[in-house]
Copies of this chain bind each other. A is one copy, B any other.
Amino acid sequence: MEKIRKFLEEDIGQGDITTALTIPPSITVEAEIIAKESGIIAGIEEARTFLESVGFQASALVADGSKIDRKRVILKIVGNAQTLLSIERTLLNLLSRMSGIATKTNRVVNKVGHAGYKTRVACTRKVAPGLSYFDKKAVALGGGDTHRFHLDDLVLIKDNHLTVIGDLSEILKKVTGTVSFSKKIEIEVSNAADALKAAETGADIVMLDNFSPEEIREAMVLLEKEGLREGILIEASGGITEENVLEFADTGVDIVSLGEITDSAKALDISLGVVKIKKE
């Protein structure tokens, strides 16, 4: 809530001069927020709570995560005209972005599911700066897995950690000896040998980074041959897109993660129209 208020302040500057000059302060209006494209709606709850906190009656006509057709009214709002016109753009920007992400996520999840794979579709930390909470919530509403929230809720050892330290086993020993029992440990590896080493030393999750589907298959075979596939999750990441996702799902990994569902999703076209004026 606090955060949406900050977005608003930034947008408004010293006040919405157009509205102040043209709309009398006493007018109450009824307005509708309409999705002009079909897709998965996300952000309704944030929008409704925010609207109520600034004095509007707001009723959601669809629930977050619902699939809607184009021209669907998603929220009805009654309240002060000046305030509504001043917050309109901020509200729509949030709904459009979150719904765009949910829609793209959902298309990928369905593509994988309909093809018969059980692979989870996850996002990465490639979010818009400052919007991590909203972007990840949209992924969840689209049916995706949110992965890490902060840098402190999973130990994820990446390529640059290895470049600095050099030895995978040394790092893993250090980590498993000191990290809180409440955290999982994930290791990003760039070749099958390292994947084996990670699995042996006690990683909970192994991320195969920038592997081609064939390279993934070879690593999976190796892991199974050594009896290390059980009790470990395998995540494929890097270069995976809505287009090629099935090739990766087909390798048998547990999770595929895609940066583009959060950093390159098309915004859903959503607009607000005043439908009734109640002069006071």
Contacts and interface: CB of A to CB of B under 8 A. Distances in A.
A212 B127 CA distance: 35
A163 B2 CA distance: 31
A272 B231 contact: no
Interface string A137-165: 00000000111111111111111110111
A208 to B, nearest CB: 15
Most buried by B among A5, A131, A134, A136: A131
Interface centre among A29, A159, A163 (most CB of B within 10 A): A163
A22 B259 CA distance: 25
Contacts of A85: 158, 160-161, 164
A221 interface: no
15 contacts: A2-B5, A7-B129, A11-B125, A13-B149, A13-B153, A17-B152, A18-B151, A18-B157, A21-B155, A21-B178, A22-B157, A97-B128, A122-B180, A181-B205, A182-B184
Interface of A: 2-7, 9-19, 21-23, 27, 29, 31, 81, 84-86, 88-90, 92-94, 96-97, 100, 120, 122, 125-134, 136, 145-161, 163-165, 171, 174-175, 178-184, 186, 205, 231, 233, 235, 254-255, 259-260, 263-267, 272-274, 277
